[in-house]
Amino acid sequence: MRIFSDELVAEAVRVNHVADLSHATIGETLLVAQYLEKKTGIPFIRMDQGSPGLPANRYGIEAEKRALDSGIGSQYPAAAGITELKEAASRFVKAFIDIDISPRACVPTVGSVAGSFGGFIGCCQRDPKKQKVLFIDPGFPIQKSQLRVLGIAWKEFDIFPYRGQALRAKLEEELAAGDIAAIIYSNPNNPAWISLEEEELRIIGELATKYDAIVMEDLAYFAMDSRHDLSHPFEPPYVRTVARYTDNYLLMLSSSKIFSYAGQRMALLCISDKLFDRQFPALAERYHDTGIFGPTLIASILYMITSGCTATTQYGYAEMLRLSTEGKINFVEDTKAYAERAQRMKAIFCANGFTITYPRDVTEEIGDGFFFSLSYPGLTGGELVTELMHYGVSSINLDTTGSLQPGVRACTSRMREELYPVLEERMREFHADHPF
């Protein structure tokens, strides 16, 4: 039996000015769920927003306090970032990815959202013939919203039927026109938690070089693939990356999930040294500078967006990266709670008629982590979002992420111990009400 009536859900949608709940954004879904919870006092299973559900790393907090006490609050931070963070970032990338990127090419940004925003601008202005972004979907909806703001066109495809070697022909098809400036994806993936394997990353890297496209690799969920122990610095296995297979890349490294530092809005763009030093006449003409990619991105693009990054937070991030590289913080172990939650949540859903929409990578089943995807027989993604809302479970339609599969994204971050029996009871009712 439903918990919330059609009338009450419709009221929540109307009051919050949501045009269509079945295709609502993350923010809109959040508002509807919060409205229903506040009005009735009935707790929601919140699977909508991917906000960290663990305490912020205390080493970062203490380092920020020390930095503020030192008096740096009166000074503007350098646009390229503080030396301590740039050096810590370079060493962290070497320790956990086994890739060499110089400190100068590790640039702080106000979260990966600011990083991708600036990255899109730089990539799409460097060559007049390359004016589009290619999304390997499903992906983070905000990034397409950024392109709407910027007036940049994009192409997209759902990777579901193109895993492994099938990816090569599909990418060739999309890149053949020569108008793709950048290729973007997240790994592990938001929303499906699939992970591109080495064979696929090699294909992306080789074709990015062939067609001169810059790969923007979003590593927001860095080392959170629960199937492999990626917690030991300077020891294999290392985090998978396209950077092994091309010099055309920007890696986005966020503090939000791995250190639960989302409120401080701090990330890094780690740029291939060869790309950092590459000169583009179109950039030189536009910005009246040398047109060298790295300095132009820092001084003429990123600085215009945020005027640099908060200095104290840079010191906090630097300390967390440094201690991780020295083996004094095990951020992988710290985030294992998400995998445990996903395992328990998926078991409840699958026992009540649901299936995992994206169940496999090329050679193995997906791991457990921050997100997973769910489908239910006979229901589209929009219908499933709407129906789950009536049972006190909020999620987002996979079609808002570029997926062509019928289903929803589920986030584990807000799950609490006392909610598991609640979820189990509600999904039993859901299954009983939706026989197939």
The predicted model scores a pTM of 0.96
Cα–Cα dist 218/261, whole Å? 17
Report all structural domains of the chain as residue ranges with CATH numbers, in order of start. 6-54+333-433 (3.90.1150.100), 58-325 (3.40.640.10)
What pairs with residue 155 in β-bridges?
A: 134
Cα–Cα dist 42/39, whole Å? 8
Cβ contact 116:305 at 8 Å: no
Side-chain-facing half-sphere of 423: CA atoms under 13 Å: 24
Q: How many CB atoms lie within 10 A of CB 17?
A: 8
pLDDT value at residue 1: 84
Write out pLDDT tens, residues 91-109.
Answer: 999 999 999 999 999 999 9
pLDDT value at residue 50: 86
3-state secondary structure 284-313: HHHHCCCCEHHHHHHHHHHHHHHCCCCHHH
125 vs 111, 237, 293, CA distance in Å? 22, 37, 10
pLDDT value at residue 49: 87
User: What's the sign of the alpha-carbon dihedral 297, 299, 301, 305?
Assistant: positive
3-state class of 365 per DSSP? strand
Cα–Cα dist 10/16, whole Å? 10
3-state class of 255 per DSSP? coil
Residue (of 138, 45, 186) closest to 373 by Cα position: 138
Residues with pLDDT less than 50, the chain: none
pLDDT value at residue 53: 87
Q: How many CB atoms lie within 10 A of CB 421?
A: 10
Placement of tokens 């990015």 in the chain: 208
The CA dihedral of 236, 185, 261, 275, to the nearest 10 degrees, is 80
Placement of tokens 């809302």 in the chain: 389
